[in-house]
Structure 1
Amino acid sequence: MSLAHSVRAIDARTPAHRDRAIDGLRALALLAVPTGHWLLGGFTLTADGAIHNASPLSALGGLAPVSWVLQMLGIFFLVGGFASALSYARHDGPARDWLKGRLARLGRPVLGVTAVWAALLPLLHHGFGVPYGTLRTASTLVVQPLWFVGVYTVITALTPYCVRAARRLGVWAAAPLIGTVAVVDALRYGPYADAVPGWLSVVNILPGWMFAYQIGVAWAGGRVTRRHAWGLLLGGAALFAALLLVFGYPASMVGVPGEARTNSHPPSLLVLALAAAQSGAAVLLRERLGRLLRRPALWAPVVVINLSAMTILCWHQTAMLAAAIPASSAGEITGLLGAPDTVGWVLARLAWMPVFAGLLVLFGRYTRHFESPWANTGTALRATAGMLAAGFAVFALG
């Protein structure tokens, strides 16, 4: 079957009621995750040949605006709330059955990637002599995107409550969430920050990432108008500028090694300001994007990306490591291994990214089966996978 025929077939099989704009936004947010990790994450080599995490943002602060564009988790949670609300409304049966199905779809790929890495670690170390420091770095990178799945799982479980809140308050149901983050930020960064316990920042995790999700739930219920969207866009952009220029928030949306403050772990008010602006823009552009994706050549990649969502999230770091670990025996390689502190490194990394993408596609051919129901998987095999995954988690987070 030719590529052109496949593209037309995908378009023909798409139901007429499918909201192509929502799928397009999800695909865009999905692609931003590996793009951001591959571009803004680098490796340095130590004398023993071990690789360690580094970031071009440490030396090239001017790249910070790139992180504003690539930080699209606000869009991901927005469309996640939209899709979950519609799915929950269509479900005929107990809420726990709906939730069980949603959580299984999230959990299987996570269990798969962590179990595979648990089996790989001793093989790489004892069979191929990969330094222990490299294994620690690899484990950290593999786990890095999985925190998102955990948070998303918790928020998904709260969907029935989000739906009720949206019915009562509409888009304003998200206001207490951004208010909570604002209060916590004022306490931990204000004049009495020294008296505030460090654990307080953890309070921001749930309301911080739930903010855009709640807007998405309200959007699905028809409670977000164009007027609301303009308010989110302009208000979010104004707040974003004020936090940067007046209140001294870090410019980067991702963590920078050596920096005392970070915006993303846990989310600061700057993350929510960006999410608000992104959400407003998404609502305003929905119809235009939907018309654009009526073109089969644009729609087909969106379908493929959405069908591989968890594979992309779980395996994109492995794709980068698959290039870096074997190459580490050869020493520094510009754009792959070596201090990411020059514009030349950035250009070289851009040249390496198609290699990472190719490896991700290759891995995806085999690992995408983790996304399917494990109907034919025996209890013993599932238990083994669970134990391997737990062991990997202990090693990665220890």
Structure 2
Amino acid sequence: MRKLRARWSVLADRIDAGTPADRDRAVDALRAFAILGVVLGHWLVTALTTADGGLGNTSPLAHLPWLAPVSWMFQTLAVFFLVGGHVAARGHSSARERGVPYGVWVGQRLSRLFRPVAAVLALWTVTAAGMLLGGAEPGTVQTLVKLVLSPLWFLLVFTVLTAATPLVARIGPLWPLAVVAGVDVWRFGFGGPEWIGWVNVAAGWLVPYTLGAAWSRGAFARRAPAALLLGAGAAATVGLVLWGGYPASMVGVPGAPISNLNPPTLAAVSFGLAQCGLALLLRGPLERAMRRPRAWAKVALMNLSAMTIFLWHQTSMMAVTALGLLAPVDLPGLHTVPDSPQWIAARLLWLPVFAAALGVCWAAFRTYEQGGRPKRGGSSRTVAASRPAAGSPPAPAAEITHA
């Protein structure tokens, strides 16, 4: 254990020394926390239970509605888009100053997204086909594939917004916010068609994205605008939940008549505004915390594999759940119905197992994100990571030397 700590200390010092002095470490820290929020949120609110000989998807939020505040801590997508808009707008401005063509700039940013996605799709195409040919219940296969593919909508929206950065970077957040509000009034107040809600998939996430672009232009140099975002967003969210009829949960709940996330509602967007305000207020403390080599090394390494973690965390959970089916009884917190505090306690014990499975996935597939296995030379190697691909979830724009 002492040797491991010593090696980690050496590695952390080398990562810290290999990071450019002008690196905005707070941005990477915000992205890392957002990734952890998504991963832990999915692991805590997604339950695969045995039913009719197969696996069905449910959520503790459907059985224990008093857990809704938990979703407030783990629904961190607004921070992804905030950081993404900030990094993309700043990167496009820099590329334009250096004379880099738009096609080259956007191609470099999006390539990091598509390589690891292709690996996930290829593996699950083979897996799903093998399960069906092996006699698995079609409902079970559908449930598993849906859980794997559902996070990809985020990448699709993110890709579109990134490609449109030159057009949307200077749009104020009030315009897309007004669209979200108008859609909700039409949809819920005047009985408009359900499909109109999908307009908010673009408009809703454009709000934090444009806030990030404004951040890159210095709009939040002072703390007052961020504090206003936090206060106004929180007040609006509380009002919409208490008196506007919106669900308290900020993630989707199986069987619920309305979801705040699918598609985004005004409550989800106002909650995102509060999150963005809090994130912007935390920049100073995070920057100071990231000056510690050990803290920064963890954040930097997570950013190097952010896409891998994001894409494979559901697969790791499902792999553990599937292996658990070999047990003679349903395992508490894994296959049982999430309808009691005991399930929550048992689920927490499974989190390290999910993390270990994710570590296996990371070891197997991280090279797809990093563009191939780096060459070894001597006792160390240097991974030259590009600027964050569309801002989220990317790798640090730094040369990080590993032991």
Same fold, TM-score > 0.5, yes or no: yes
Question: Is structure 2 residue 104 aligned with structure 1 residue 104?
Answer: no
Is the 2:170–2:210 contact (alpha carbons within 8 Å) kept by the matching residues of 1? Answer: no
Residue in structure 1 matching 2:125, options 109, 114, 118:
118
Q: Give 2:395's aligned residue.
A: none
For residue 181 of structure 2, what is the amino acid of its counterpart?
A
Q: Give 2:144's aligned residue.
A: 138
Q: Give 1:17's aligned residue.
A: 22
Q: Give 1:250's aligned residue.
A: 247
Is the 2:177–2:207 contact (alpha carbons within 8 Å) kept by the matching residues of 1? Answer: yes
Report the CA distance between 1:133 and its aligned residue.
2.7
CA offset digits 1:268-307 (Å, max 9, x no partner): 0111111111111122221121001111111111011111
Is the 1:108–1:370 contact (alpha carbons within 8 Å) kept by the matching residues of 2? Answer: yes
Residue in structure 1 matching 2:63, options 59, 62, 75:
59
Is the 1:323–1:356 contact (alpha carbons within 8 Å) kept by the matching residues of 2? Answer: yes
Q: Give 2:46's aligned residue.
A: 41
Distance 2:372 2:111 in 1: 10
User: Deviating runs (4+, > 4 A) in structure 1?
Assistant: none
For residue 73 of structure 2, what is the amino acid of its counterpart?
V
Task: State TM-score, norm by structure 2.
Answer: 0.87
Q: Give 1:314's aligned residue.
A: 311
Is the 1:7–1:297 contact (alpha carbons within 8 Å) kept by the matching residues of 2? Answer: yes
Is the 1:77–1:209 contact (alpha carbons within 8 Å) kept by the matching residues of 2? Answer: yes
Distance 2:250 2:46 in 1: 13
Q: Give 2:362's aligned residue.
A: 364
CA offset digits 1:59-99 (Å, max 9, x no partner): 11111000011111111110111111121122131112111
Is the 2:367–2:373 contact (alpha carbons within 8 Å) kept by the matching residues of 1? Answer: no
For residue 156 of structure 2, what is the amino acid of its counterpart?
G
Distance 2:282 2:311 in 1: 29
CA offset digits 1:150-179 (Å, max 9, x no partner): 1110111111112343xxxxxxx0101111
Is the 1:235–1:277 contact (alpha carbons within 8 Å) kept by the matching residues of 2? Answer: yes
Q: Give 1:90's aligned residue.
A: 94
Q: Give 1:333's aligned residue.
A: 331
Distance 2:359 2:294 in 1: 19
For residue 23 of structure 2, what is the amino acid of its counterpart?
R
Structure that is richer in helix per residue:
1
Is the 2:69–2:249 contact (alpha carbons within 8 Å) kept by the matching residues of 1? Answer: yes
CA offset digits 1:192-241 (Å, max 9, x no partner): 21xx1221101111010111010001101112342211211111011011
Q: Give 1:388's aligned residue.
A: none
Distance 1:121 1:282 in 2: 39
For residue 214 of structure 1, what is the amino acid of its counterpart?
T
Report the CA distance between 1:114 and its aligned residue.
0.7
Residue in structure 2 matching 1:268, options 256, 265, 268:
265
Report the CA distance between 1:125 and its aligned residue.
4.2
Q: Give 1:379's aligned residue.
A: none
Is the 1:51–1:328 contact (alpha carbons within 8 Å) kept by the matching residues of 2? Answer: no
**Pairs within 5 Å for 1:190-205:** 190=189, 192-193=190-191, 196-205=192-201
Q: Give 1:238's aligned residue.
A: 235
For residue 273 of structure 1, what is the amino acid of its counterpart?
S
Q: Give 2:79's aligned residue.
A: 75
Report the CA distance between 1:374 and its aligned residue.
6.6
Distance 1:38 1:81 in 2: 27
Distance 2:152 2:169 in 1: 26
Distance 1:272 1:30 in 2: 19
Report the CA distance between 1:266 and its aligned residue.
0.8
For residue 175 of structure 2, what is the amino acid of its counterpart?
P
SS at match of 1:78: helix
Is the 2:85–2:169 contact (alpha carbons within 8 Å) kept by the matching residues of 1? Answer: no
SS at match of 1:349: helix
Q: Give 2:203's aligned residue.
A: 207
Is the 1:36–1:67 contact (alpha carbons within 8 Å) kept by the matching residues of 2? Answer: yes
Q: Which moved more, 1:326-335 or 1:10-19?
A: 326-335
Is the 2:170–2:213 contact (alpha carbons within 8 Å) kept by the matching residues of 1? Answer: no
Q: Name the % identity.
A: 44
Q: Give 1:384's aligned residue.
A: none
Is the 1:43–1:340 contact (alpha carbons within 8 Å) kept by the matching residues of 2? Answer: no
SS at match of 1:267: coil
Is the 1:319–1:359 contact (alpha carbons within 8 Å) kept by the matching residues of 2? Answer: yes
Report the CA distance between 1:372 and its aligned residue.
3.0
Report the CA distance between 1:329 and its aligned residue.
4.0
Distance 2:70 2:167 in 1: 35
**Pairs within 5 Å for 1:180-199:** 180-190=179-189, 192-193=190-191, 196-199=192-195
Unpaired segments ≥5 residues, structure 1: 166-172, 377-398
Distance 1:163 1:203 in 2: 19
Is the 1:110–1:314 contact (alpha carbons within 8 Å) kept by the matching residues of 2? Answer: yes
Q: Give 2:10's aligned residue.
A: 5
SS at match of 1:2: helix
SS at match of 1:141: helix
Residue in structure 1 matching 2:219, options 223, 240, 254:
223
Aligned residues: 364
For residue 116 of structure 1, what is the amino acid of its counterpart?
L
Q: Which moved more, 1:304-313 or 1:224-233?
A: 224-233
Unpaired segments ≥5 residues, structure 2: 1-5, 375-403
SS at match of 2:325: helix
